[in-house]
Structure 1
Amino acid sequence: MGQAFPERRVPVLIVEDEPILRIDAVDMVEQAGFDAVEATNVEHAIRILEERKDIRVVYMDLDMPRGVKGIEIAAAIRNRWPPIEIILTAAFFTAADLDLPVRAEFFPKPIRKPDMIAAMRRMAMRH
């Protein structure tokens, strides 16, 4: 009999500075069948993107500390790594407040997990 190999799970980079929210996002991503890759801040996320060429979806909180503008970081990711799909979330913004990068989707907090998972699956299928 042939040996069965598990299907490779698509990695999703989670950029979330709040530990509880990051743990919740990791659980959601893994339960949806993806491989969660964690970044605690923007600098960490950029290092991961530079090192890992397999990341194709980034899930990022726009509410970043120390004056970091999450939407500008999302635009920089789009410019530097065009194939990457971007999911943005925030508690203090609405979609109308944002000039979203191409192929980015926004979800207000608290997120609706079925909608978020559907977006991740849709984005992963593009690759």
Structure 2
Amino acid sequence: MEQSHSQNPTTVLVVEDEPFIRLDALDMIKEAGFRTYEAGGAEEAIRLLEEHADIGILFTDVNMPGSMNGLELARSVRDRWPPVKIIIASGQMTLRNEDMPRESVFFSKPYRARQIVGKLREMAAEGLGH
């Protein structure tokens, strides 16, 4: 039985297979005042979402090894946890709105920290304004 997510919009799950990029993203997001969880791939991310009902935002890379890439992860999260906000990033492809799950946003790498933090804050404010 799946947990009912309370979706704390100030808790972000960062999914990135490259350790240095993941650490940079985690530092940027923590410095902006958000709580974080981290995963190196989609399978670990799904497990964390199942275990931690406080995750309100998914921040994922597209290209990852394993059975599911970041875009497939985002679609799965949208289906299973509809209130979770989604940010997708990639340095190797550009996604159009119709390629992504509804209510998600895309950033090309290298992205600017202030762009990501600004979008996280906007998503958190939306999540708090039920």
TM-score (norm 2): 0.85
| Residue type of the alignment partner of 2:30 | E
In 2, Cα distance between equivalents of 1:67 and 1:97: 23
Quote how far apart the aligned CAs of 1:56 are: 0.5
In 1, Cα distance between equivalents of 2:89 and 2:22: 12
Number of positions where the alignment pairs a residue of Structure 1 with one of Structure 2: 120
In 2, Cα distance between equivalents of 1:122 and 1:21: 23
Alignment map for 1:76-115 (pairs within 5 Å): 76-96=76-96, 99-115=99-115
Q: Cα–Cα, structure 1 residues 56 and 14, in superposed 2: closer, same or farther, change >3 Å?
A: same
Larger radius of gyration: 1
Residue 72 (structure 2) aligns with: 72
In 1, Cα distance between equivalents of 2:84 and 2:52: 12
In 2, Cα distance between equivalents of 1:12 and 1:68: 20
Residue 59 (structure 2) aligns with: 59
| Alignment check: 8 A CA contact 2:13 2:45 kept | yes
Relative contact order: is structure 1 or structure 2 higher (C-alpha 8 Å, sep ≥ 6)? 2
Residue 4 (structure 2) aligns with: none
Unpaired runs of 5+ residues, structure 1, are 1-7
Quote how far apart the aligned CAs of 1:68 are: 3.1
| Alignment check: 8 A CA contact 1:59 1:86 kept | yes
Identity of aligned residues (%): 42
Q: Cα–Cα, structure 1 residues 9 and 60, in superposed 2: closer, same or farther, change >3 Å?
A: closer
Quote how far apart the aligned CAs of 1:36 are: 1.6
Unpaired runs of 5+ residues, structure 2, are 1-7
SS state at 2:116 partner: helix
| Alignment check: 8 A CA contact 1:9 1:35 kept | no
TM-score (norm 1): 0.87
Runs of 4+ displaced beyond 6 Å = none
Show CA shifts across 1:61-87 (max 9, x none): 001124633212211100100000000
| Alignment check: 8 A CA contact 2:42 2:66 kept | no
